[in-house]
Structure 1
Amino acid sequence: MSTKNLSPVLKTSFVLLAILVLLGIVMPDGYQVWSEQLREVISDKFGWFYLLLVTSIVLLCGFFLVSPVGQIKLGEPNSVPEHSTISWIAMIFSAGMGIGLVFYGAAEPLSHYAISTVRATPGSQEALADAFRYTFFHWGIHAWAVYALIALALAYFGFRKKEKYLLSVTLKPLFGKKTNGILGKIVDTITVVATVIGVATTLGFGAAQINGGLNYLFGIPNNALVQVIIIIITTILFTISALSGLGKGVKILSNTNLILAVGLLAITIIIGPTVQIFNTLTDSIGLYISNFFRMSFSAGSFGQYNRDWINTWTIFYWAWWISWSPFVGVFIARISKGRSIRQFLSIVLLAPTVLSFLWFSTFGTLSTHVQSLGNVDLTQFPSEQTLFATFSQLPFGFIASVVAIILIVTFFITSADSATYVLAMLSDDGNLKPKNDLKIFWGVLLATIAIVLLLSGGLVALQNTLIIVAFPFSLIMVLIMVSLVIELLHEKDKMGLSITPTRYPKKDQPFKSYEE
């Protein structure tokens, strides 16, 4: 890879990330303290901003879904989807959640129920109800709306307007040709850095849980060295997969993930407390819907909720989804050509949300049920071992644990595989078929950053860095929202779209407000 041909975005991103890595290597203790302090400042002083931003994104996506702009196709009028709906959903789900679902599936509801509750006494029925409604809240429509906004903006400007496949071009309705200069480079650099940190954090979670499962089942030491080895091995695997191309490696792995996930889910429902699982699902959906806006806007100012808890959980999740949105958004956009905006938003918002609700109802009910029986105290296990400790109380628990480890590995590879493709594309001037040497470069750098942050403070350092990096990108998201509204409403007026159309307009072309 010749340095002469490297884009300014790649060079600047590399320098910023290199500084981060050096800080973690030279003064790991200082880095952990510094990152913790900065994270607390952002969470405490700007938590309200995250709550308002993410809820506004949900409302905006809902508006696009039901408004006339939903008829607009992401591509030419005669374009058709490149992937079947099932494969499309599988790739969206694998890239967007993956490791996180397996890591937190049993652990998060248990934690909210028995350890750190939002308001109720730990172990009470009220705490149990709060545990599931807040888990649904953290992993539901809000998360997918954040992804959908970025994906919609990129797919709309990339496939509809024929612009470069870069996040900076989505701001053209606001800044015009300035996005081709330094402003655009800054936006794209922040996008790359946020993507790297977001994915590196998830790789750290994945390595920790794979190690936790191997330790619980086979007695393999649970330490940083083993986790580093896991990251190195999986890096080799996902780099090989990335080189095979989007239509092969990622698609095959995503379909495999969906099969394994559905299989593990079905086995657990059958051998677990089946009726209780579906009762929990039904009750929790009702609690989620009835408390939707209350949770969305609750910052804990009036004492009805624990403000520190909201900062630790809700604000962390909103920052996580924001930092992951460039990667997941770019990836979802890339595989969504030919879909209408209404079809796109319907699937991206609802399909993964329903799967997530079923997943947490199943594994969360299982872990809280085992805890309530009193035969084993699951709270004594670290989060990465909670799922395996829960499975140990079931028939065929060992087999389920092995399947879970395989699923984590495939999710790990899929997420990193997709990320290397996206990063290579963003640093290759939006090229939809980026160079292989760029994929290798980003694969190695992702692994290096995950290892350094892991060694400099474990998962805490990873989480702190994620929240810090998400903040500047959240400001970009505000601009993207405004830009997208301007352009979609402009095109709606030009095409003469209405809420109840009798036919699709004959005059269909990618009108550009910023070139008229």
Structure 2
Amino acid sequence: MKKVSSVFYITIALVIIFVSLGALLPAQFERVTTTINSFLSTSFGWYYMWLMAGLIIISIFIAFSPYGKIRLGKNNEKPEFSTPTWIAMLFSAGLGIGLVFYGAAEPLFHGFFDAPFAEEGSEQAFKYGIAVTFFHWGIHGWAMYGLVALSLAFFQFRKGEPGLISATLKPLFGNRMKGPFGKTIDILATFATIFGVATSLGFGAMQINGGLNHLFGIDVGFTAQFAIVSIITILFLMSAWSGLSKGIKYLSNANMVLAILLFIAVLFAGPTLLILNMFTETFGLYFQNIVQWSFRTATLEGDNRAWLDSWTIFYWAWWISWAPFVGMFIARVSRGRTIRQFLFGVMIVPTFIIAIWFATFGTTAGDIQKSGVDLTQYATELVLFNMFDQMPLSSILSLIAIMLILTFFITSADSATFVLGMQSTNGSLTPPTTVKIVLGLAQSSVALILLYVGGLTALQNTIIAAAFPFSFVVILMMVSLLKALNKEVRAKR
């Protein structure tokens, strides 16, 4: 068994404290997280906007600079995974449950319920609803994932450092990263990862519960969600036992197959021509407005600040909280690729896939809404299934969606236990199964507590609070990476 570091024990202790407080004082816990969320969203919204926009600028600079030719590994090293499998793993680990949870609901709500840029229900709001969803799920978030992953992969595979967040800061702080300061950084990353993944697991449990209620009448509530999380925890721990090259690889490919199957079914069962036209126009609308939206802070009265806090700021915090987990996972499966190939693959391909997905589901939901069926009356987790009710083979589509959520659920949790295991064993690429099991149980426990104390609201509040401190680590990682890349290129001259 690999040596378990103090990061493991301290993180588990913090999780136990958190879970205990949530279980014993649920009302107070929800009140505190709501207060923290309100303070951070109101006082630091501008900071989140600058951070995410800045990461895009840095990514483009690195990709087109001489740094882009550097290989993440030895000079002649070949990629470990084929490009299709690599993309499938990026897709599954980096998106997962949220893609299905928000696929139809978010564009619908932005267009017909709480439209940020046009009159609710208007043709313009319909288009903007889809375009702003691209904005929330597109290149900003993948720049965050990509740069965190690039930093980890560069230092681990090019410089021979352990796969730890703290190791990426050695050019700035030297051997201090091996002491308490470095441990604190790794604990912060591990803690943020547990809460980021727990939020998605909570979303997944809610939507699986909603789908089972829709199809079979199973009651929606914490009891059912507890059973769902418990069963899936057993399944993802079994997958974690089998290792990266088996469990996660096969599940990632299964995710892609199910996602493609569901996508094609909705594309052709829905308003196909409208979807294709809407995708084309809203993709252009997204890039036309990306600069303005990237720096929008809703400063004045009438700017709909509540919408910005509930959606954009929440999403930026969610991407940040997932960055250590997804970054480490992407780094682990990207060895042997050049930096330019890596950044283009991580930022452009997923953004394009996301746009096609949300255009298909969002246009279909919006078209049904305009026909007179009010989908906005349903909770977020139920919109998709009620949309299917208005389409052919609705029960089959619902079953495929539940299966997709299930496999995404298992893949995300499985990938997270692997990454958490790395962080807790000094960067080992083969963390002990016992460590992964304990950490897997920890993230499931957090998901259950968040569902227990407040459902969707508690999930969103906790994400913003957990992501804020790690955002400063991301900034340090970018400075350290640029310093190391510059040194590498100058050494070759």
The interval holding the TM-score normalised by the smaller chain is: over 0.9
| Cross-structure match for 2:426 | 429
**1:157 counterpart letter in structure 2:** F
Find the counterpart in structure 2 of residue 507 from structure 1.
Answer: none
TM-score normalized by the length of structure 2: 0.99
Unaligned runs of 5+ in 2: none
Check whether the contact 2:4–2:426 (CA below 8 A) recurs between aligned residues.
Answer: no
Q: What's the counterpart of residue 249 of structure 2?
A: 251
After superposition, where does 1:367-446 map in structure 2 within 5 Å? 367-374=365-372, 376-446=373-443
**How far is 1:444 from its partner?**
1.1
Number of the residue aligned with 1:138: 136
Aligned length in residues: 493
1:106 is matched by which residue type in structure 2?
A
Question: Aligned partners of 1:298 and 1:491: how far apart in 2?
Answer: 37
The residue that corresponds to 1:82 in the other structure is: 80
Matched residue SS, 2:121:
coil
Aligned pairs (5 A) from 1:109-128: 109-128=107-126
Counterpart amino acid of 2:407?
T
Show the counterpart of 1:506: none
In structure 1, the partner of 2:328 is: 330
**Aligned counterpart for 2:282 among listed residues 281, 284, 293:** 284
Task: Tell me how far apart the structure 2 counterparts of residues 29 and 51 of structure 1 sit (CA, whole Å).
Answer: 31
Deviates more, 1:389-398 or 1:300-309: 300-309
1:97-145, CA deviations, whole angstroms, 9 ceiling, x for partnerless residues?
A: 0100000000000110111111322111221122112101000000111
Q: Which residue is 1:221 aligned to?
A: 219
Alignment of 1:299-314 (within 5 A): 299-302=297-300, 305-314=303-312
Deviations 1:428-484 (A, max 9, x none): 110000001011111111111111121111121121111101000001111111111
Q: How far apart, CA to CA, are the structure 2 residues paired with 1:65 and 1:194?
A: 28
Aligned to 1:460: 457
Match of 2:238 in 1: 240
Q: CA deviation at 1:270?
A: 0.9
Residue among 97, 100, 112 paired with 2:98: 100
Q: Is the 8 A contact 1:103 1:383 kept in 2?
A: yes
**Stretch of structure 1 that moved more, 128-137 or 35-44:** 128-137
Alpha carbons 1:119, 1:304 under 8 Å: kept: no
Taking the aligned partners of 1:465 and 1:265, their CA distance within structure 2 comes to 31
Distance 2:485 2:123 in 1: 46
In 2: Cα distance, 1:290 partner to 1:466 partner: 29
Verify the 8 A CA contact 2:236 2:411 in the aligned structure 1: yes
* Aligned-partner Cα distance in 1 for 2:77–2:399: 42
Task: Deviation per CA, 1:69-115: give whole Å up to 9, x if none.
Answer: 00000001121111010000001100000100000000000110111
Tell me, in whole angstroms, the C-alpha distance in 2 between the residues paired with 1:455 and 1:280.
39
Matched, 1:38 2:36: yes
AA in 2 matched with 1:337: R
Among candidates 469, 473, 476, match of residue 476 of structure 1: 473
* Alpha-carbon distance in 1 for matches of 2:266, 2:456: 28
Q: CA deviation at 1:303?
A: 5.5
CA RMSD of aligned residues (A): 1.1
- 1:23 alignment counterpart: 21
Q: Which digits, 9 at most, give the CA deviation of each residue in 1:131-163, with x for residues without a partner? A: 112101000000111100110000000000000
Structure 2 counterpart of 1:274: 272
Letter in 1 for 2:105: A
Indicate yes or no: 2:179 matched with 1:181: yes
Distance in 2, matches of 1:174 and 1:330, equals 20
Q: Which piece of structure 1 moves more, 10-19 or 329-338?
A: 10-19
> For residues 52 and 15 of structure 1, what CA distance do their matches in structure 2 show?
34
Aligned-pair identity in percent equals 50
What is the rounded CA distance, in whole Å, between the counterparts of 1:285 and 1:220 in structure 2? 39
Could you tell me how far 1:302 is from its partner in structure 2? 4.4
Q: CA deviation at 1:40?
A: 0.3
Residue 203 of structure 2 aligns with an amino acid whose one-letter code is F
Which among 464, 488, 493 is matched to residue 490 of structure 2? 493
Other structure's SS at 1:456 match? helix
Q: Distance in 2 between matches of 1:159 and 1:42?
A: 36
Question: Which deviates more from structure 2 when the two are superposed, residues 299-308 or residues 481-490?
Answer: 299-308
The DSSP-based 3-state class of the residue aligned with 2:392 is coil
Counterpart residue number, 1:168: 166
Taking the aligned partners of 1:177 and 1:126, their CA distance within structure 2 comes to 56
The 2-side partners of 1:428 and 1:346 are apart by 31
Q: Match for 1:489: what amino acid?
A: N
Residue pair 1:129, 1:284 contacting (<8 A) in 2 also: yes
Letter of the aligned partner of 1:487 in structure 2?
A: A
Amino acid at match of 1:490: K
Counterpart-to-counterpart distance in 2, 1:457 and 1:395: 35
Equivalent residues of 1:91, 1:254 under 8 A apart: yes
Provide the C-alpha distance between the structure 1 equivalents of 2:76 and 2:21, rounded to a whole number of angstroms. Answer: 51
